[in-house]
Chains A and B, each alone.
Chain A
Amino acid sequence: DGGITQSPKYLFRKEGQNVTLSCEQNLNHDAMYWYRQDPGQGLRLIYYSQIVNDFQKGDIAEGYSVSREKKESFPLTVTSAQKNPTAFYLCASKAGTGAGNQPQHFGDGTRLSIL
């Protein structure tokens, strides 16, 4: 089903390189989130944005950057400062801002590996 599209599905990063993961949603959701999923670790919050032109750091923001120039787009850049980038990255969105009872909807994810 549509809604949230993440691309690419697989991404490889060379040492010292920055790479950007795309996340687009057509659900007209205000809030968007980036999570990192590692085996045995569950999902951990990297960054989130509750409204256009605003975003906040999550629990593991170091080595990552984001932008929210458009409501439907929330790209994540994995910078060279992130020393252990190999993981599965999930983007999510949610209607409403701040507290609310709406569930988050997730994309299919991007698997990032180091060359």
Chain B
Amino acid sequence: AQRVTQPEKLLSVFKGAPVELKCNYSYSGSPELFWYVQYSRQRLQLLLRHISRESIKGFTADLNKGETSFHLKKPFAQEEDSAMYYCALKGSQGNLIFGKGTKLSVKP
């Protein structure tokens, strides 16, 4: 079965603290994984994808096939990082399979 699990509904950290949003997946083939972000009153947008191995807005995510994880990390959270974050897995038909999302709240 193709599935994405984000175990935390809400993650609250203080500004400057490290943050890690967890994502685990279930997929029989070679996975393609993404992190999407939805800021308040804005459309859902791509944050990063594992295939690019890039860092966007200070966020990184490493695909760990052994642990079937794709956790999103940032060493020093900023208030503007507060948003809803979705981990997504590309399905066999090009569609995206989303996790239920984690709401990140960064307090001043």
**Residues on A facing B (Cβ under 8 Å):** 31, 33, 35, 40-45, 48, 50, 56, 58, 90, 92, 94, 96-101, 103-109
A54 to B30, CA, bound (A): 27
Q: Which of B43, B49, B99, B101 contacts A106 (CB 8 A)?
A: B43
Q: Which of A42, A45, A101 contacts B99 (CB 8 A)?
A: A42
> B11: CB under 8 A from chain A?
no
- A107, closest chain B residue (CB): B43
B94:A103 contact, CB within 8 angstroms: no
14 other A-B residue contacts (CB within 8 Å) besides A48-B93, A109-B43? A42-B86, A45-B95, A56-B93, A90-B44, A92-B96, A96-B94, A97-B94, A98-B93, A99-B90, A100-B94, A101-B51, A103-B34, A106-B45, A108-B43
> B70: CB under 8 A from chain A?
no
Chain B residues with CB under 8 Å of A107's CB are 43
Chain A residues with CB under 8 Å of B91's CB are 45
A42:B101 contact, CB within 8 angstroms: yes
A42:B98 contact, CB within 8 angstroms: yes
A41:B44 contact, CB within 8 angstroms: no
B46:A103 contact, CB within 8 angstroms: yes
State the interface size on chain B (CB cutoff 8 A): 24
A106:B44 contact, CB within 8 angstroms: yes
Minimum Cβ distance to chain A for residue B79 (Å)? 23
Instruction: Write 17 A-B pairs (CB below 8 A) sorted by A numbering.
Output: A35-B98, A42-B86, A42-B98, A42-B99, A43-B44, A45-B91, A90-B44, A97-B94, A99-B92, A101-B32, A103-B34, A103-B46, A104-B46, A104-B96, A105-B46, A106-B43, A106-B45
B61-96 with Cβ < 8 A to chain A: 86, 90-96
Interface centre among A42, A58, A92, by most chain B C-beta atoms within 10 angstroms, is A42
> B9: CB under 8 A from chain A?
yes
